[in-house]
Structure 1
Amino acid sequence: MTAPEHRAPELPATRRARLLLAGVLLSLFLAMLLARALGEAGLEQTALFYVGVPALVAVTVTLTARPRTAVGVALATTTIGLALAGPLLDEGVVCLVIAAPLLYGVAAAVGVAVQRVRERGPGGRAPALVAAPLLAVMLLEGVGGVSLLPREDAGSASVVVDASVDEVATALASAPDYGPFRSAFLRAVPFPHPVHAAGAGLEVGAVREVEFTPRRSLGIGAEPTPRAMALEVVRSEARDDGGAVVFAVTDDTTLARWMDLHQAEVIWWAEGTGVRVTWTLRYTRTFDPSWYFGPVQRYATDQAAAYLAATFTPDGAR
């Protein structure tokens, strides 16, 4: 009869690695479960999603795996979650790129806070008691219509062109020739790009049908879906020294997942030897938290307004 074999005791490093892997997998599972639940409840655009999910990842990894570098593991787990979000949650590139800095920031901040509380014991809980109510307030943004900042906002851009008032009006009334984005931000995200427009005229009732590059979801087996925007002139004014036109957005499958764009206004007036043209895009912010998505969406619409100002500049004035 042979003596039973004795296994060598598990090394601390091996045990720590197994625990870390279990913590990472558990946090990802809970995060995906929470994301699905929030999506079913219609809360996927609230702070409960964009703050709650990375916070859950950081807390779960830190408390279950107890890594030496909680922040590093939380960020690595968030990266894996972002990589899985596209195929499993059918998210697009724009949403993931825009949300990534927020998700990383929340994961890092919560990871640091939980790590310090764990290391300092009861004496380190005071900062957590202060941070917990703040986190709770942040999580409530978007739930039940709660918002710290106004949802109605606008982006604008102005340019002076070397042209006459009539030449500017003619350019605005004609179908544009859309060029590439000049803005590094619009190119990097990347935002949908207009490729073709049908319709002309500045009289009230004139319509525009604008075709954009298709949406390319990262979902498994997802096919590119067409995107377009329909606009109608609802106010038009023309004078010898300038004018103003307001386009109402009547249908939008381009930015609907990103914001509720409802109006575009362009005004122009003689200034010196040229004409000043100002574009204003009015929209309703649909994503929370407001302190993050508010400035991001405002900057994006500022850049989009600048693109329109350059696009509708008369050929001889470019």
Structure 2
Amino acid sequence: MEAVELGNARVLRPGKLLWLRAMGWMVALFVLIVAFAALFANGMLRVGTAASGATFTRPELVPEPIKFTVIALTAVLVLLLYRGAVRFAENRRVPELSLREMPAELIGGLLVGALLMAGSIGLLWATGWAVVTPKPIAAILPAIRSSIQSGVIEEVVFRLIVFRLCWRAFGPWWALAISALLFGALHLGNPNATIFAAICIALEAGILLATFYILTGRIWAPIGVHAGWNFTQGWVFGAAVSGGSGGFNGGPLSTQPAAGVPEMLSGGGFGPEASLPGLLVCTAAGLSLLWLSWRKGRMTAAG
């Protein structure tokens, strides 16, 4: 039995043009979730700022407690919106959001993400390709907020929507390739991005996060890995996260590429995700889990 429930009723019922219906539903659900998250968060930031007596001019000037509350609420509502849309359009329960397994899988994912990034940066430091220095702790709430935002919203969009519905349309291997390439390509718009950085993101995160979803059939482990990865990279070690700070500043360390080291080794301005150690460590983990998924019979083609 497949761990991932793909959906086989209403819009995803087997039959003529299933692939086209699945792709159309993927686009519609993608737009619904992304538009809701953007509009709701922006609107609530304005409301919260006005209620606090401040003036909404630029997002960076909004008080942090307001931003944290808005993003946390947005993440919860995105999960609820996805559940409701799937129950209506696919006429099924939504085991990928089962709450019973959430605590263990979320915590486990956080630990795995933290260990993978700590290992990658540890190798960068050991090889002399990055310099790690201590600094005073300034803040932590922005980093937690950014971790929630990237972990929940990006995983719902790329694993539950893009990966799952591409699987329904074309099978698991094509779905893995399409979702990983798309995830990497979208990072080309980030600061300090390069083609090599996008390839690293596709191979590291695109495979790793999808395989946690394949193995568990739920989104909690991918959310945990993604959030733990970003938090450890950006806040704990103070490295660039996908090309920028992304709100992760304020932690106890600062990690910078060593002078004179090629970007493909150190990650350059994009950060450890685009480094050779990051590529090797995280891709090896993803491929190991992918092999395990295949051995367990989880990579069966969608019917």
Q: More helix per residue: 1 or 2?
A: 2
Normalized per residue, the structure richer in strand is: 1
- Give the structure-1-normalised TM-score: 0.31
Q: Choose 1 or 2 for highest CA Rg.
A: 1
- The TM-score normalised by the length of structure 2 is 0.32
